[in-house]
Each structure stands twice: as structure tokens, then as C-alpha cells.
A and B are shown apart, each in its own frame.
Chain A
């Protein structure tokens, strides 16, 4: 018998006896269960309402979020960040939104798209990526290996900058997951991540410290 057969055998044997159904057990239970959206915090229907909700959530998560009228405005802001942070080298993935910004920054670059040396990426001051979606309900940005230059780019350098488009804003996690399911179908990337703020820890006396291992700063710029 293979290990698989041993375990599945135990499982099937165990399941021969039925367990009580949870909702029936509790006579005070709410109405029959529905999809999560019925219970989770509400999200407005319009794009404006969603952007506003995203802004509020991002602020609470200590994310810097800006709506930019155009690419030029985004470039100006990233230049400011670079100057303030004394950036010398950035890691980035090549893309429709990241290319023009990186060009104008004209800093040393570590493009990750076709592989990179770990020490090179580790010594970058910032990372420039795109994303799969922005989630209004939670203030999260969904990244993937293809949209964010692999796995490490968006978590190793100390400042992560995300460039997103308006049409990437979705109301909630359900929609975000549906969107990537439809996009990738069966050809999933090996890595997807919901990022909700700069890295943090409360492991020392439950006091919040940012930049535990991942980036200390997260900036999200929303382009039209």
C-alpha cells in the first residue's frame, strides 16, 4: 500500500460515520449561508466609491496611495521619492507602465524579468512593479510573478512602488480572485500575493514596527 492509499483509506473509513451539520446544530443560526459578499464589509458600487474606500484602507495600512492624472504626474512623484530616499539603484520589471517611469528616473537598474543575481537585487533601494488588481474592500494590491517581476522583487528592496490602472480596481477579494481565474485559466503562475501594506511585525510587546523583513514603504500610484 502506498502512503497515499494508507491515508485516503483512513479518511474513507473515518467518514463512514456522518458528523452533524454545523448550521443545523445551532438553532439560533442566521439565515442559510450565502456567498461571502453578503457578510463581509460592504463596498460601494461606483468606481469613485471604490477608489475612496481603497484610499481609506490604504491610509490605515500606512500605504502611500495617490491618484495620478497621467503618467507625467506619476513620474514626478516617483522622482520625488527617489530624491528623498537617496535611491541609487532600483529593481524593476519591464512593462507598459514601468518602462516610461524607469526611463525618466535614469538610475542604475536591476531588471528581474529574465533572472537576476540575488545580491544585486538585495542592494536595490526600491522596486518598481505593476500588478494584477487593487482591492477596494481591503486596500490590497494583488501581484503575480508575471505582473511583478517574479517573487522577490516586490518583497526584497525596502521601498515597493506599484503602478496600476483604474480598470484594475476591483471591489473585493472575491472579484479579484475571479479576475485572475478568468485571466490565467489553467495556466496559473506559481506565485500570487495579496499585499496589504508595508511589512510589519508586532512580535515585540505587540508594538507595531514596519519593515520587518519586507519593504518598509509601499507606494501605490493609480493611473487612468
Chain B
């Protein structure tokens, strides 16, 4: 029986796992250990439902409800002076939890503090755009949509940004394959000539760097030159390859040959540099 590999997460995995390895956790601190953050969280808790809040490596991490995302971000910007949003994106947890974790990385210029606001959305759930609060979300949310296919609403121009507009699937999802399509070599052949022409035409070469040593029309082998188009597939190369590489009659300018004609029988091979 073939080994079963789950399709929900096709990313690269470690080939060996020590059974006895216990993964440590980056230490998380209570919000009370930092006065500034504690005041911010308390101010936020009065207005909104804060699901979780902790400190991780000096960063305040806040979990809020996805329906409140715009209001929370606006509150943080206007009331608590987190006046810049540096980054926003998603983390794919479809395989384990059926959705995405969205994070908003915010910075306060006068408090010198960073916070990360997070919320969890289901795979098909709608998420409000924060573009009206921070203009940087215009491009960031386009990227998030492009890479994860998150259903963002109220964005004025939601289209793909990095991938081509007609791209299928969302590249940063864990389900996105790491290798190309095996059948892709036949797509064009089937479409243009029909399936029955497969044998006559052969698969399309999709590797731009492909090299075929037997193809004498497009490749030449240095030191083993053969005439253009010669068939060497049986491994037999012609015993003699003419040395003259010029066109018949040579290249002429004002009726005079630019380069002298090469007489192969009269040519000598020098053993030593003169």
C-alpha cells in the first residue's frame, strides 16, 4: 500500500523527529509586568472584548474578535497613539483550526512600543478592510488576498498584487503544492494539435535551461562539432567534421572576401605558439 500523505499540509517536513525531543515554548509574560501595556490593555478592555493578552519578547500580543478589527485598530490609533501600522498578514491554520490568524503589527512612535493585534477568521469568513484607518493596508491587504485568498470586504481595489491576475490558487497556503504540474508539458500540445498528436510532437520543454546533447540543430558541443542537423542519436559521430565554418563563397564586402578561404588540406596544426 502506498504511504498516505495528508493533502491539507504539503509543505516540507523534517525527515527525522526525535521522539524524546520536547519543544520548548518562548516564554510568555503576564501583561501586568509592564505598566504601559497594562494601561493600554485596560483601556481597550473597557470598550472591546479582549480574548487574550500576553507579552512575548517585549511585544504585546492581543487577541480580539474579527468583527471588531477596524474599531480596535482605530481605537489604538486615535486613543492609545499606536499611530503606525507596520505590517499585516495572515497565518494559515486551515489544517488544524480551519481558518487563518490575521495579525496587525502596530508601532507607537512616542511610546516606543510595538503591539500585535490578532484575530482568527474562518476560511470563508469575511474580514473588514482596515484601509480606511491606515492607507498601508491598501497594498498589504491586496497581498494578503493574493497569497491567502482571505475574503476582505470594503477594500476599494481588491485584486492580486504580486501574482498574475489570472493565477489559480493562493501560493502561501499550506495546501499549495511545492512542485509543478506533471501534466503541464501536454497542455499546449493537446490544446493546439489534439491528444492524438502527442506522439508525433512530444512533450513541451518547459525547462528554460534544458540541454539536449543529441540535438544538433540548437546545441553545439565544443571540441566535437558536427554539421548542423546531423543525426548523432545512435552515438556515432561523423568521422570527419569540416573545419570551414564560413558560408559558401565567404562573406564579401565590395566584391572582396573579408576572410580568406580555408583550405583544410593545406592547414597545419601548430604544436607550439610562434
Chain B associates with chain A: no
